[in-house]
Amino acid sequence: MLASSTAAQAASAAMVTGPAFLIPQLHTAYGMSLGEAGLVASAPLLGMMLTLIAWGVVVDHRGERFSLLVGLVAAAVGGGLAIAGAATGDPGGSADAARGPVVAMALALVLAGAASGATNSASGRVVVGWFPPERRGLAMGIRQTAQPLGVGLAAATMAVLAERAGIGAALWVPTAACALAAVVVAAVVLDPPRPQRHEAPAHAANPYRQDRFLARIHGASVLLVGPQFLVWTFGLTWLIDDLGWSAAAAGLLMLGTQLVGAGARIGAGWWSDVAGSRMRPMRQVAVLAAVTMLALGAAAAASGSVAWLTGAAVLLLVAASAITVADNGLAFTAVAERAGPFWSGRAMGMQNTAQHLMAAAVPPVAGLTITHLGYGAAFAIAAALPLAAVPLVPVAHERLIS
């Protein structure tokens, strides 16, 4: 159950975040500005954001297996339509001539992202439903490695394929991943057991009416996801544009950062099981994220004039990529535990919707910031977001794990 739900989430993560690695090709071959290319990259995030709560309702009422199968198949169809749209474009022509096919591709990516939203709630519910509380943090940490693994797959392949064979070829990576994941889910996943509503009326009550615990987790998670998507979206472009790396070398480094990030999520989940708390580790991660992003911004700004700072900036990019993702599993597990079996689908949908509101805004806003102020300034400014999240993490109101 853990492996199949992780595979499903990794495939959808590749579909949603993969277009970010098309930014260099959209910028150079298609003549788009960084802001315009960022809008294309955020298209699947927009689609996912619009459907996450609806998918949560489907999960609560129809179950995890049904939601995963429908979502993954639809995501593969959306990816296929995006490939067809990209195939009609001519990167060698004018920017105006390429704009129509790019718009068609972006609309198809919105559909693919909307379908991919099914895995966020459903795969998380599979893990929460099949693992006991004292092992759930580690299990969810392993499941949360799906996102950096999916991003790493896209980073290692899509930029190189787009450069050598075109954007359509690159989009085959997440499309094929979603199709294969659907086959795995069909063969393996079973809905976890849960009580009947009449047997557990307290768990069927709306948890948002009881206190502000879930709302505070949502708020803190929104702030924490900003730096995460900034380094994911523009880390590769920074390595290519500012440091002069090749697309292949930059993609391999970004793959490495995602593997480190996967380890950070597992470690944070294990830490929460040992500590008996999800929120205390989450607050510490927020502090570390603020410090790391500020240091990365300073090093990136000076890397052009001070040679040794270039290496330091690259190492800080790796560190930031790991630290900024470490909180996701903690927040996701805490939301599912507090919401209970009859509301966790919607609550996890709300959690991810709030995060993707921020994530969808990052590419265009960061693109404009980088254009006018540079990469270093954009990284440093992002440090304010996790710093603001620190007091929001509801440590005092947490029900400790027994």
**Local confidence band at 306 (pLDDT 50, 70, 90 cut-offs):** low
For residue 188, the model assigns a pLDDT of 94
**Does the pLDDT value for residue 381 go beyond 90?**
yes
Position 88 pLDDT exceeds 80: no
Tell me which of 65-69, 91-95, 186-190, 322-326 is least confident: 91-95
211 vs 77, which has greater pLDDT? 77
Going by the DSSP 8-state scheme, the letter that residue 397 receives in this structure is: T
Q: What was the pLDDT predicted at 402?
A: 46
At residue 311, does pLDDT exceed 70? yes
CATH class of 2-191+207-392: mainly alpha
pLDDT, one tens digit per residue, over 188-215 is: 999 888 766 555 555 567 888 888 889 9
Q: What is the pLDDT of residue 70?
A: 95
* Spatial separation of the C-alpha atoms in residues 124 and 12, rounded to whole Å: 13
Task: Read off the pLDDT band of 124 (50, 70, 90).
Answer: confident
Convert the pLDDT of each residue in 254-296 to its tens digit. Answer: 878 878 888 888 999 899 888 888 899 999 999 999 999 999 9
**Residue 68: what pLDDT?**
95
Q: What is the mean pLDDT of residues 360-371?
A: 85
Whole-angstrom distance, CA of residue 40 vs CA of residue 139: 34
CA distances from 235 to 238, 242, 244, 283, 317 (A): 5, 10, 13, 25, 7
User: For residue 342, which amino acid is it?
Assistant: F
DSSP sequence for 154-204: HHHHHHHHHHHH-HHHHHHHHHHHHHHHHHHHHHH--PPP---GGG-GGGG
Q: What percent of the chain has pLDDT over 70?
A: 92
Residue 306 DSSP one-character state: S
Both structure tokens of 337: 């535990």
Helices H, strands E: what count in the chain? Answer: 17, 0
**pLDDT tens by residue, 10-59:** 999 999 989 888 888 887 777 777 777 888 888 998 898 888 888 988 88
User: Above 90 in pLDDT, residue 219?
Assistant: yes
The residues spanned by each domain of the chain are: 2-191+207-392
pLDDT of 134 above 80: yes
* Percentage with pLDDT > 90 across the chain: 32
Q: Which residues contact 134 (CB under 8 A, 6 or more apart)?
A: 273, 401
The structure tokens listed for 129 are 């439903």
Q: Residue 92 pLDDT > 70, yes or no?
A: no
Q: How confident is the model at residue 94 (pLDDT cuts 50, 70, 90)?
A: very low
Whether the full predicted model's pTM is greater than 0.75, yes or no, is: no
Residue predicted with more confidence, 275 or 180: 180
For 212, phi and psi rounded to 5 degrees? -100, 15
User: In the predicted model, what is the mean pLDDT of residues 375-398?
Assistant: 92
The sign of the dihedral angle between the CA atoms of 108, 88, 360, 244 is positive
Q: Name the pLDDT band for 360 (thresholds 50, 70, 90).
A: confident
Band of pLDDT at residue 100, cut at 50, 70 and 90 = low
d(CA 290, CA 293): 5
Q: Phi and psi at residue 63, in whole multiples of 5°?
A: 100, 170
